[in-house]
Structure 1
Amino acid sequence: MPKLAKQLTDPAARKAIIKPEPYTLASGNGLFLLVLPTGSKQWQVRYRTPEGQRSKKIIGIYPDVSIAQAHVLADGLHQAARMGLEVTGLYDDLKAKRKSTTDAEIEAQRQEQDRLQHCFTVISDRWLDDRRAGWQKATYDKNQFIVRKKLQPGIGNLDVRTMASKDVVDLLREIAAQTPSIAPKARQCINGVIEYCILRGLRGDDQVLRLKGVFPKLKGGHMPAITKYQEIGALMRAIDAYPGRVVRCALLLAAYTALRPGVVASAKWEEMDLEQGEWHIPGKEADGSNRMKTGNDHIVSLPTQALEALKEMQQFAGGPFVFPGVGNRNNPHIHRDALSKALRDMGFAGKHSTHGFRAMLRTVARERLKVDLDVLEAQLAHAKKDQIQSAYDRTDFAEERKSVMQAWADYLDELKVGAQVIQLKQA
């Protein structure tokens, strides 16, 4: 009488050595553990049909199916074989399950896959990629942050083909309550994605979202800016007293040049000609994205006060950027939001932003210094208003801007010191 195999133990099954060729470990009653070169361990049962034919089936995977469970399954399989019933194994059951899927379930799965391909997360990522080349890096980074951190977690699963205004209202109002400054930009991003869908036939021409009144308590859409000359002195004194040297110098450069915050924050030493007192800003980044909003090169005259701030920053000149990252060492240069935060910390929240220096120059320099509007527009690097101007008006008023920006810096300093002199006299 042949010797019966003993039931495998768990340690023996668990420690079975992986070999170049498959082999089996017997566990009794026709049950074997098949050890494959891949490391997979399968329970296999060898049995006889009522006609006496030998066959085998895989009934499970170890350790998902334990030794005790495998023996129970093996007993059931032998019983079915003796009774002439259909004998099925693991893969037979899976095949039957797939076959039993109804047409309705298949269609539902197809529709779900189609919906996921057109969800807001997928399409908004495509929109970001599509717009990237035409944006400044700082603009792209801000839009990417809003889309991926603020919008996608809330509405990322929605199908853009059927998304309605009511589907995004609550999210936009929640963003407005938490971070009012970026709420209008979040709405702009949503509308941008919807326009992208319309242009690509994912939505009809009339399927725009109506979100104009979603922020009933927000007034206007302009960046806060101090445009009354009586208040400028206090602002400049607050900047002078700010303890963070890197941020303070960046704010001074923004005040003296009225350039966009993102351009100031990412200023590079290679762009600075301190001897000539000029800042040469390339219109585009190396990757083809816009550095200047218009995409055109821009030369800025640096007044003596701006040159002093830059010379102060030379002691930190260990890298390519004028204003190295502070706090987060992963940032090669300071973020423009660090400048806005500093102004808020000084007490100017809702009164003045870094972008507000541009409105300050355009308004106060025009009203108090009587600077020609075209010269101011050239300094601000605004795009020409129409195609004719863009094609034929190439004037940049370089000489005029040099004297104007020096006069502007002197005026800011006069307001800063003048108010202090008045206070001393009154005391």
Structure 2
Amino acid sequence: MPKMPAQLTDLAARKAKLKDTVYTLPSGRGLFLLVQPTGIKQWMVRFQTLEGKRGNRIVGVYPDMGVADARTAADQLHQRVRMGESPEGMRDRRRAERLSKTEEEVAAALLIEDARSHSFTVLSDAWLEHRKLGWAPATYRKSTFIVQKRLQPLLGQSDMRTLTTKNVVPVLVSLAAETPSIAIKARQCLNGIIDYCIVRGIRGDDQLLRLQRALPRHRGSHIPAITKIQGVGRLMRTVLGYEGRVVRGGLLLAAYTACRPGVVASARWSEMDLERAEWCIPAEKMKTRIEHVVSLPKQAVEMLTEMSQYGGGDYVFPGVGKRGNPHLHRDALSKALRDMGFQGQHATHGFRAMLRTVARERLKIDIDVLEAQLAHAKADEIQAAYDRARFEDERRIVMQVWADFLHEQADSATVLQMKRA
């Protein structure tokens, strides 16, 4: 993904130098500090309406409005735009309306504002912010996309105090018809938002939504993965023969380690210790929020040594294509597998299921060792508190056995292909 600009600090805003022409300093989420040649500094928010129209709005002047207040004003403006309101002259219009209204009109306006503060858009945004610190970055990005791009356009103005199951089910069914996996995640988000509202007294304890059977059943909803021995060799032979060096390296690292695609694509050289043949994945990248040390088989070390000779900056797999990403995007790995003819058969995430199934059935590897390699969370809080075994020595042996097995299968598939030719 493109690198997001960091939030502008007060020091940077204060020391922004004057130039002969107007220029902007980004602060993330569409917020910019507009610096005029006259010395005036204004906070400007760029936005896009539900109809796709782009615009910008001045929300305040620095230093009268500080960085934190500007950020809040930008978030509020984006919220209103997502709810279909016009952002033009919003603050001035509301002030003028308050001055000219009768008491009845003021009371009505307060009711409207009360409904907005309890709307799905406002409270779902609050839920995302509440969960942000406890989530891995990839989980937060995915949940934000689903809530703001899929749910808010359809439920944005709904009052969370009175939202019912029948209001939500048609939305989920519509999403399921388009993308079943998105609908499943959307249901999880909805349950989380409802729970957030109940805990804060916005809804009663008995105001749960009955969404368990809201979605139609879809066959093949699992991530596609080759878990039969007959397909492993063909898959590995095809991956090893892929022409794109960066993408091939990413797929091989996913196959050798069974790490999640996003973690593989964003791997940094600072995380790699090729002498010790270890990859130390920091906690903030892990779904469990626990640092994960991965043993690298010799085949992975050889591939990484080759990659290091090509440069590429901080990332093991530099960005490819026209997106301008600093590192390889996980979608590039999935696309490569589809282009190789494995659409619907095997996805990048499928290497995890392949290890879990094939290594267990064919190589008889202990299940606890496999679970440790996959970095799965413990089944319950008690187990997580007391069972902290990582099986690092066992995994070092197992992952070399696994890599050797993968190459043996690839060699066998190559011989078979030659005989058929």
Q: If the length of structure 2 is used for normalisation, what is the TM-score?
A: 0.71
Distance 2:368 2:232 in 1: 23
Pair 1:375-2:369 in alignment:
yes
Tell me which residue corresponds to 1:355.
349
Distance 1:171 1:317, change over 3 A: farther
Distance 1:100 1:135 in 2: 45
Distance 1:312 1:214, change over 3 A: farther
Q: Displacement of 1:221 after TM fit?
A: 4.9
Tell me which residue corresponds to 1:325.
319
Q: Which amino acid aligns with 1:227?
A: T
Q: Which amino acid aligns with 1:322?
A: V
Bigger radius of gyration among the two: 1
Distance 1:164 1:324, change over 3 A: farther
Q: How many positions carry a matched residue from both structures?
A: 327
Tell me which residue corresponds to 2:102.
101
Tell me which residue corresponds to 2:269.
269
Q: Which amino acid aligns with 1:292?
A: M
Question: Match for 1:386 among 380, 384, 394?
Answer: 380
Residue aligned with 1:280, SS: strand
Tell me which residue corresponds to 2:31.
none
Q: Displacement of 1:274 after TM fit?
A: 0.9
Distance 1:96 1:329, change over 3 A: closer
Distance 1:214 1:388 in 2: 32
Distance 1:315 1:116, change over 3 A: farther
Q: Displacement of 1:96 after TM fit?
A: 12
Residue aligned with 1:145, SS: helix
- Do the aligned partners of 2:239 and 2:248 also contact (CA within 8 Å) in 1? yes
Distance 2:291 2:333 in 1: 24
Distance 2:258 2:235 in 1: 15
Query: What's the Cα RMSD here?
Result: 2.5
Q: Displacement of 1:220 after TM fit?
A: 6.3
Pair 1:215-2:215 in alignment:
yes
Tell me which residue corresponds to 1:304.
298
Distance 1:175 1:247, change over 3 A: farther
Tell me which residue corresponds to 1:414.
408
Residue aligned with 2:133, SS: helix
Tell me which residue corresponds to 1:71.
none
Q: Displacement of 1:99 after TM fit?
A: 6.1
Runs of 5+ unmatched residues, structure 1? 1-93, 285-290
Distance 1:181 1:242 in 2: 29
Tell me which residue corresponds to 1:225.
225
- Kindly, what percent of the aligned residue pairs are identical? 62
Distance 1:316 1:164 in 2: 56
Distance 1:238 1:156 in 2: 46
Q: Which amino acid aligns with 2:249?
A: C
Q: Which amino acid aligns with 2:156?
A: G
Residue aligned with 1:391, SS: helix
Tell me which residue corresponds to 1:248.
248
Residue aligned with 1:129, SS: helix
Tell me which residue corresponds to 2:417.
423
Distance 1:236 1:161 in 2: 53
Tell me which residue corresponds to 2:186.
186
Tell me which residue corresponds to 2:140.
140
Q: Which amino acid aligns with 1:309?
A: M
Distance 1:96 1:247 in 2: 58
